[in-house]
Structure 1
Amino acid sequence: MDELDRNILGLLGADARMSVATLARRMKVARSTVQARLERLETTGVIAGYTLKLGENARQGRLRASVLLTIEPRAQAAILTRLKAIAEIEKVFTTSGRYDLLLQIAAPSTQVLDQVLDQIGALTGVVSSESLIHLSTKFDRAV
Structure 2
Amino acid sequence: MKKNVLLLILVSFCLSSCKESPQFHKSHYPEKAEAPFSDAVEANGFLFLSGQIGMDHNTRELVDGGIVPETKQAIENIREVLELHDSDLSQVIKVSVILKDIKDFNAFNKVYVTHFTHQPARTTFAASGLAKDAQIEIEVVAVK
Pair in the same fold by TM > 0.5: no
Decide which structure has greater strand share. Answer: 2
**If the length of structure 2 is used for normalisation, what is the TM-score?**
0.28
**In terms of Rg, which structure is larger?**
1
**If the length of structure 1 is used for normalisation, what is the TM-score?**
0.28
